[in-house]
Amino acid sequence: MSSDGVWFMNVFYVTDDHGNKIRDEGIINCIEKALENDACMVNSTGKILLSKDHNLIELTGTDRPGLLSEVCAVLTDLRCNVVNAEIWAHNARAAAVIHITDQSTGAAIEDPRKLSLIKKLLYNVLKDHGDFRTPIVSISAPVEIHTGRRLHQMMFAARDFERPDSEIDGSVRPDVTVLDCPGRDYTVVTATSIDRPKLLFDTVCTLTDMQYLVFHGAVVTDSKKAYQEYYIRHVDGFPTSSEAERQRVIECIQAAIERRASEGLQLELFTDDHFGLLSYITRILRENGLWAKSAEISTRNGKAKHNYIVTDVSGNPVDPKTIFLIHQQMGQTVLQVKGNLSVPPKFPQETSRSFLFRGLFRCPSFQNFGLS
């Protein structure tokens, strides 16, 4: 990725979800049209919802076991049907984007008293008397948003990059460095982490939300790891100016990489949709001692697809016996376990850095990395 004045050139080497070369001409044409069009944020999987028949709920608060179940129970009690939803949790903070309809009409809720009641009860669920931060609940008509981008903004606003004492442990985090490149008036940001889908999107969105511009960058991945390098400046045209600012960039990039990559066991559910299904599923998870660290719910043509990443209530790996009990309650044909019932892999502490622009710039700061 490189830019000069008003021109830029980006080159991406991409595969499908299975790591194979894309040969479908329909998909290739769709990519070309999306990139050539200003309104390029189009996603057939429901990431963007523009229907006026829904209400948009945005929630931010302190995460805890059972929170998702309680939110879903409130919506069900108030006869609200969840059409689509995505929930992230990171560093003891949780954010959700939920689209609902009135169960009786199948359309958006217009009664201001009911909307006010929904907002009040959800606020009470999110309120944590042990947390000085106030939860945020908003209900509005649908707007043109990208759900993942919006969740990044909400988590950033909730300062999830600040790790609470309870979350500070010996776990390995993404390796992020931020250094000055004085000869070119850039700040160089490098990150090494486990590779996964949407990693580039998550990192660049966070830099943008922090008011930084990426002038040059590169990403290289192998079967497990990803190496990212960006040359950035603040929107005012200057590189980072203090050690405190550089440390904040490190913390925010680490948070951006971690938010979507919640550690835990992935559960996938696909079944006929009906009112109260989400409340029923999340109640079963809660009653069996599981903590939903993230969730993605979508409904279409009478079918519902749910994806959860779960741990036990202490944040530890799930006991296989628990999954067996849940299978019995939900039915063997409804629930699938993705991956193994074991501790999720972590990337190695000792990782090599890839500096992809060493030939493009001659930065004195590169001497700190032992580069000649």
Listing DSSP states for 299-322 in one string gives: EETTEEEEEEEEEETTSPPPPHHH
Where does the pLDDT of residue 215 fall: very low under 50, low under 70, confident under 90, or very high at 90 and above?
very high
Residue 166 has pLDDT above 70, yes or no: no
Residue 118 main-chain phi, psi, to 5 deg: -60, -45
Q: Of the given ranges (100-114, 157-171, 225-239, 313-327), which has the lowest mean pLDDT?
A: 157-171
Average pLDDT over residues 361-365: 42
pLDDT tens, residue by residue, 30-82: 999 888 865 444 444 435 545 578 999 999 999 999 999 999 999 999 999 99
For helices 147-157 and 243-259, the axis angle rounded to 10 degrees is 140
Separation CA 73–CA 273 (nearest Å): 16
Give the start-end residues of each E strand in 29-104.
55-62, 80-90, 93-102
Furthest C-alpha separation in the chain: 69
Provide the H-helix boundaries in 55-198: 67-77, 112-126, 147-157
Q: What is the pLDDT of residue 38?
A: 55
Q: For the whole prediction, is pTM greater than 0.75?
A: yes
Average pLDDT over residues 315-341: 82
Average pLDDT over residues 360-369: 39
Q: Are 201 and 147 in contact (CB under 8 A)?
A: no
